[in-house]
Structure 1
Amino acid sequence: MVVAKKLKTFEVVFSDPSKAFYCSGDKVAGNVVVEVCEATKVSVLKVLGVGCGKVEYAKGKQKCREEIDYLKYEEVVHLDQQTRAPDGSFTLLPGNRYDFMFGFELPAPGCLVSSYRGKFGYVRYYVRAVMERPCAPPQHCEKSFEVEEPLDINTPDLLAPVAASKQKKVSCLFIPDGQVSISARIDRKGFCEGEEIGLNAKFENSCSRIVVPKAAIVAKHSYQAGGRTKVLKQKLTSVRGNHIISGMCDMWQGRSIRVPKLQPSLQGCDIIKVEYVLMVYVHIPGSEKMAVELPLVIGTGPFGGFSSRTSSVSSQAGSMSAPSDSWASFPSPPPSYPNLPSYSNLPRLGGDSTRTPLLHDCDEDDEEEGLFMLASAHTYPPPPPYSEVDENVPSGQQVIQVF
Structure 2
Amino acid sequence: MVLGKVRALAVCFDTLNESNLPVFSGGELVSGRVVVEVAGDVRVRSLDVTARGVAKVRWTESRNAGANTAYTQNYTEEVEYLHHRDTLIGEERGEAGLHEFAFSFHLPQMALATSFEGKHGSVRYWVKAELQRPWMLPVKVKKEFIVFEHIDINTPLLLAPQAGSKEKTLCCWFCASGPISLSVKVARKGYTPGDSIQIFAEVENCSTRVVVPKAALYQTQTFFAKGKGKEIQQLVSNLRGEALAQGKSQSWEGRMLKIPPVSPSILDCPIIRVEYALVVYVDIPGGLNLSLSLPLVIGTIPLHTAASRTSSISSHGSASGWLGVPEHPEAPPSYSELAIPESHRRHFLHGVHEHEQEHASAALLTYITEFRYLPPPFYAEVDPYPEQVEPGRPDTCPSR
Q: TM-score, normalised by structure 2?
A: 0.72
In structure 1, C-alpha distance between the alignment counterparts of 2:103 and 2:118, rounded to whole Å: 30
Q: Which residue of 2 aligns with 1:340?
A: none
8 Å CA contact retained: 1:53, 1:122: yes
Instruction: Report the CA distance between 1:297 and its aligned residue.
Output: 0.9
RMSD: 2.7
In structure 1, C-alpha distance between the alignment counterparts of 2:210 and 2:307, rounded to whole Å: 35
Q: Which residue of 2 aligns with 1:214?
A: 214
1:153-183 Cα offsets, whole Å, 9 max, x none, are 0000001111122222213999574332211
8 Å CA contact retained: 1:254, 1:309: no
In structure 1, C-alpha distance between the alignment counterparts of 2:126 and 2:170, rounded to whole Å: 55
Matched, 1:73 2:87: no
1:50-94 Cα offsets, whole Å, 9 max, x none, are 11111112122212111111100011113xxxxxxxxx621223x
8 Å CA contact retained: 1:195, 1:308: no
8 Å CA contact retained: 2:39, 2:97: no
Q: Secondary structure at the match of 2:146?
A: coil
In structure 2, C-alpha distance between the alignment counterparts of 1:174 and 1:286, rounded to whole Å: 19
Q: Secondary structure at the match of 1:317?
A: helix
8 Å CA contact retained: 2:186, 2:315: no
Q: Which residue of 1 aligns with 2:323?
A: 327
In structure 1, C-alpha distance between the alignment counterparts of 2:189 and 2:104, rounded to whole Å: 39
Show structure 2 runs of 5+ residues with no match. 63-71, 327-383, 385-400
Q: Which residue of 2 aligns with 1:53?
A: 55
Task: Name the aligned partner's letter for residue 22 of structure 1.
Answer: F
Change (3 A) 1:183 1:318: closer
8 Å CA contact retained: 2:13, 2:22: no
Q: Which has the bigger relative contact order, CA under 8 A and spacing at least 6?
A: 2
8 Å CA contact retained: 2:76, 2:226: yes
1:361-403 Cα offsets, whole Å, 9 max, x none, are xxx9xxxxxxxxxxxxxxxxxxxxxxxxxxxxxxxxxxxxxxx
Task: Name the aligned partner's letter for residue 23 of structure 1.
Answer: S
Q: Secondary structure at the match of 1:145?
A: strand
Q: Which residue of 1 aligns with 2:41?
A: 39
Change (3 A) 1:119 1:5: farther
Q: Which residue of 2 aligns with 1:258?
A: 258
Q: Secondary structure at the match of 1:146?
A: strand
In structure 1, C-alpha distance between the alignment counterparts of 2:226 and 2:174, rounded to whole Å: 42
8 Å CA contact retained: 2:8, 2:36: yes
1:267-304 Cα offsets, whole Å, 9 max, x none, are 32111111111110010011121211111111111211
Task: Name the aligned partner's letter for residue 171 of structure 1.
Answer: C
Q: Which residue of 1 aligns with 2:121?
A: 121
Instruction: Report the CA distance between 1:131 and its aligned residue.
Output: 2.0
Q: Point out the structure with the larger helix share.
A: 2
8 Å CA contact retained: 1:193, 1:298: yes
In structure 2, C-alpha distance between the alignment counterparts of 1:107 and 1:307, rounded to whole Å: 31
1:320-353 Cα offsets, whole Å, 9 max, x none, are 3xxxx553379xxxxxxxxxxxxxxxxxxxxxxx
Q: Which residue of 2 aligns with 1:395?
A: none
Q: TM-score, normalised by structure 1?
A: 0.71
Task: Name the aligned partner's letter for residue 200 of structure 1.
Answer: F
Q: Following superposition of structure 1 onto structure 2, how do residues 96-175 of structure 1 map, counting pairs within 5 Å?
A: 96-110=97-111, 112-171=112-171
Show structure 1 runs of 5+ residues with no match. 79-87, 331-363, 365-403
Q: Following superposition of structure 1 onto structure 2, how do residues 201-240 of structure 1 map, counting pairs within 5 Å?
A: 201-240=201-240
Q: Which residue of 1 aligns with 2:23?
A: 21
Task: Name the aligned partner's letter for residue 96 of structure 1.
Answer: G
Q: Which residue of 2 aligns with 1:367?
A: none
Q: Which of structures 1 and 2 has the bigger CA Rg?
A: 1
Q: Secondary structure at the match of 2:157?
A: helix
Percent identity over paired residues: 38
Change (3 A) 1:311 1:256: farther
Instruction: Report the CA distance between 1:117 and its aligned residue.
Output: 1.1
Task: Name the aligned partner's letter for residue 35 of structure 2.
Answer: V
In structure 1, C-alpha distance between the alignment counterparts of 2:200 and 2:177, rounded to whole Å: 27
Task: Name the aligned partner's letter for residue 234 of structure 1.
Answer: Q
8 Å CA contact retained: 1:170, 1:176: no
Moved more, 15-24 or 219-228: 15-24
Change (3 A) 1:54 1:318: closer
8 Å CA contact retained: 1:197, 1:257: yes
Change (3 A) 1:66 1:318: closer
8 Å CA contact retained: 1:198, 1:309: no
